[in-house]
């Protein structure tokens, strides 16, 4: 553990402690929330797992980007895993280590004052509510921040009821298209295959499913719930959730919210906003500059998904056979058992494609050459695609992604769902559908939703007002 920067003054103003789960999508969105709160004048301590923070500080602009905030400090804490561990690695090892090492350390750091004045509240990543010992700090209210969509959060919350009603477990492959009833607000929307992925486990009491459900139920018990979403996207689900938890703030899309705020205050250069755990390869932007408008499909499966060699080849042949240009992110170690892209694929890709290890995704999606996004349906990627007005092909892999992709295709109608399929014919067909045959229809609806997203974070918009309300509520806690 260690201090990164000393606070400038230590008066009695509100002090917010923010603690994300150690994974890319979580750190990324919670950093954006931290910046937004800091811009509003709140004192912020951002507590980061040391090995994650170490990677962030390797980016050249990282320290200067935060030094402009007078009352912002980073602190780090260990999760007991080695520096070189993959961001998540083995999930149960990580959770055990967080429970046995990080939890008592956090308690000690809070009691000793090492994190600064006693926080007015803690904004805790709702994926690990257990990390904060409520009994040891009864006067610090917990705001549970969920980095997933409200629809998938809601689906998780109904799992105990689905088990009780006998709708879970799923009875094998042939049961996958059965319609699930009983998730309030989502009637006739979800099939078994659209439930959060852990519902596919044969044993409904498997610790992996129970973990997600327990953290969800725990989030309802916190002082408040925060979602990275907006009313015009998930309004009906949010109102169902509000009947179960009165204090909900929907303040997303956070990246657009921050951008809007910054454009009226300071304007960072694009590279300054990199919260990635890998070095960004900006050469793809120059490659995109040379491509015709809306001619490129961007392919990325986020920061955790690992594909196997067969899947790599099905995607590669599908993309090549589609006849479209593509920009593909293949992180180091993201193809099981392979060090990098097989040489023969890399060579042939040059004709119409470009491969990078990590892209400046927000900038890529906003580039005029991008016509569609083949995504794993992580919630950050989904929101970034929506804001950029880019239709999606969804290939969800785990957790909330299965539910997000259902909403993308069936409710918002801004993409196609390729769930549970991975063959070159389907890839080629879907690429052509989204970029040609169904382009107008999908593009029309995503642009409509993009406008609503932007309006929500502008002055008077729903997310803007919810953030203002949250800041006011935090200030009131101090009085």
Select from 213-221, 236-244, 379-387, 415-423 the region that touches ligand UDP (CB under 6 A): 379-387
- Please give the residues from 229 up to 258 whose contact with ligand UDP meets the rule CB under 6 A: none
Q: Which of 329, 345, 392, 418 binds ligand UDP (CB under 6 A)?
A: 329
In 50-126, at which residue ranges do the beta strands (DSSP E only) sit?
72-77, 121-125
Binding of ligand UDP by 302 (CB under 6 A):
yes
Residue 380 near ligand UDP by CB under 6 A: yes
Cβ distance to ligand UDP smaller for residue 116 or 153: 153
Cβ proximity of 296 and 288 under 8 Å: yes
φ/ψ of 401, rounded to 5, equals -60, -35
Enumerate long-range contacts of 270-273, CB under 8 Å, 24 or more apart.
270/360, 270/363, 271/61, 271/360, 272/61, 272/64, 272/65, 273/65, 273/362
Say how many residues touch ligand UDP, by CB under 6 A.
19
13 or 362: CB nearest ligand UDP: 362
In the Cβ-directed half-sphere of 120, how many Cα atoms lie within 13 Å?
19
359 counts as binding ligand UDP under rule CB under 6 A: yes
How many Å apart are CA 34 and CA 40, to the nearest integer?
10
Q: Among 46, 198, 373, 379, which residue interacts with ligand UDP (rule: CB under 6 A)?
A: 379
Would you say 297 or 304 has its CB closer to ligand UDP? 304
CA distance 149 to 380: 9
322 touches ligand UDP by CB under 6 A: no
- Does 76 contact ligand UDP by CB under 6 A? no
- Contact call for residue 25 and ligand UDP (CB under 6 A): yes
- Which residue of the chain is nearest ligand UDP when measured via CB? 378
Q: Write each residue from 251 to 290 as x if it is in contact with ligand UDP (CB under 6 A), else as -, in one continuous string.
A: -------------------------x--------------
Assign 350 to helix, strand or coil: coil
CB 123 within 8 A of CB 30: yes
Which residue, chain included where needed, has tokens 């553990």? 1
Classify 253 as helix, strand or coil: coil
Question: Is there binding between residue 80 and ligand UDP (CB under 6 A)?
Answer: no
d(C-alpha 193, C-alpha 245), whole Å: 27
Please identify, using beta-carbon distances, which residue of 116 and 212 lies nearer to ligand UDP: 212
Q: Which of 79, 125, 417, 466 is catalytic?
A: 125
Counting contacts by CB under 6 A, is residue 304 touching ligand UDP?
A: yes
Name which position in 66, 153, 316, 358 contacts ligand UDP (CB under 6 A). 358
Contact (CB, 8 A) for 327 and 287: yes
Whether 295 and 325 have beta carbons less than 8 Å apart is answered as yes
| Interface positions, 4-23, toward ligand UDP (CB under 6 A) | 23
For CA atoms 340, 345, 348, 354, the dihedral sign is: negative
378 near ligand UDP, rule: CB under 6 A: yes
Selected range binding ligand UDP among 32-40, 88-96, 296-304, 434-442, rule: CB under 6 A: 296-304
Could you tell me how far CA 233 lies from the centroid of its own chain?
A: 16
50 among known catalytic residues: no
Task: Indicate whether 402 belongs to the interface with ligand UDP (CB under 6 A).
Answer: no
Comparison of 28 and 38: residue with beta carbon closer to ligand UDP: 28
- The Cα 241–Cα 382 span in angstroms is 21
Please give the C-alpha separations between residue 117 and each of 13, 47, 105, 219, in angstroms, as whole numbers: 10, 14, 17, 25
Please, what is the minimum distance in Å from the beta carbon of residue 136 to ligand UDP? 30
125 tagged catalytic = yes
Report the residue number, 284 or 443, with the smaller CB distance to ligand UDP: 284
The catalytic residue among 26, 50, 59, 255 is 26
What DSSP state is assigned to residue 123? E
Please identify, using beta-carbon distances, which residue of 272 and 362 lies nearer to ligand UDP: 362
User: What is the bridge-based pairing of β-strands 72-77 and 2-3?
Assistant: antiparallel
Residue 328 as a binder of ligand UDP (CB under 6 A): the answer is no
Where does this chain touch ligand UDP (CB under 6 A) — which range of 119-127, 317-325, 358-366, 441-449?
Answer: 358-366
Query: Closer CB to ligand UDP, residue 141 or residue 379?
Result: 379
Q: How far apart are the first and last CA of the chain?
A: 32
Report, as residue numbers or ranges, the catalytic residues: 26, 125
Site for ligand UDP, rule CB under 6 A: 23-25, 28, 276, 300, 302-304, 329, 358-359, 361-362, 378-381, 384
């Amino acid at each position: 553990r260690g201090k990164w920067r000393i606070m400038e003054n230590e008066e009695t103003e509100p002090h917010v402690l923010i603690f994300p789960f150690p994974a890319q999508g979580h750190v990324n969105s919670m950093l954006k929330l931290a910046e937004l709160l800091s811009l509003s004048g709140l004192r912020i301590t951002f507590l980061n797992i040391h090995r994650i923070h170490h990677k962030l500080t390797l980016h050249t602009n990282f320290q200067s980007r935060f030094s402009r905030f007078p009352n912002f400090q980073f602190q780090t804490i260990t999760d007991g895993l080695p520096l070189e561990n993959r961001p998540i690695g083995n999930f149960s090892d990580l959770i055990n280590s967080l429970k046995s090492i990080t939890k008592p350390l956090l308690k000690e750091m809070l009691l000793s004052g090492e994190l600064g004045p006693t926080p007015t509240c803690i904004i805790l990543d709702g994926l690990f509510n257990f990390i904060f010992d409520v009994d040891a700090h009864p006067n610090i209210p917990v705001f549970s921040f969920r980095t997933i969509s409200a629809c998938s959060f809601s689906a998780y919350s109904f799992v105990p009821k689905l088990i009780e009603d006998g709708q879970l477990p799923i009875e094998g492959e042939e049961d996958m298209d059965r319609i699930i009833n009983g998730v309030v607000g989502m009637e006739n929307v979800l099939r078994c295959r659209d439930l959060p992925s852990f519902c596919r486990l044969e044993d409904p009491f498997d610790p992996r499913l129970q973990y997600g459900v327990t953290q969800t139920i725990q989030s309802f018990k916190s002082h408040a719930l925060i979602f990275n979403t907006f009313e015009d996207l998930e309004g009906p689900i949010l109102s169902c959730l509000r009947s179960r938890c009165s204090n909900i703030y929907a303040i997303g899309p956070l990246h657009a919210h921050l951008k809007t705020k910054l454009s009226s205050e300071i304007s960072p250069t694009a590279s300054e906003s990199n919260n990635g755990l890998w070095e960004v390869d900006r050469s793809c932007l120059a490659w995109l500059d040379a491509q015709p408008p809306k001619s490129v499909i961007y392919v990325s499966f986020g920061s955790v998904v690992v594909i196997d060699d067969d899947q790599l080849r099905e995607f590669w042949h599908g993309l090549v056979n589609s006849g479209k240009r593509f920009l593909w992110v293949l992180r180091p170690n993201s193809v099981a058992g392979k060090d990098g892209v097989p040489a023969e694929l890399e060579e042939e890709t040059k004709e119409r494609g470009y491969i990078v290890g990590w892209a400046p995704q927000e900038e890529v999606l906003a580039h005029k050459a991008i016509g569609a996004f083949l995504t794993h349906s992580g919630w950050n990627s989904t929101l970034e695609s929506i804001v950029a007005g880019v239709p999606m092909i969804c290939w969800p892999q785990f957790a909330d992604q299965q539910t997000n992709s259902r909403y993308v295709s069936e409710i918002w109608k801004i993409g196609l769902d390729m769930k549970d399929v991975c063959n070159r014919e389907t890839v080629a067909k879907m690429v052509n559908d989204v970029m040609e045959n169904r382009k107008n229809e999908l593009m029309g609806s995503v642009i409509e939703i993009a406008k609503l997203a932007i309006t929500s974070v502008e002055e008077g918009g729903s997310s803007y007002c919810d953030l203002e309300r949250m800041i006011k509520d935090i200030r009131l806690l101090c009085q």
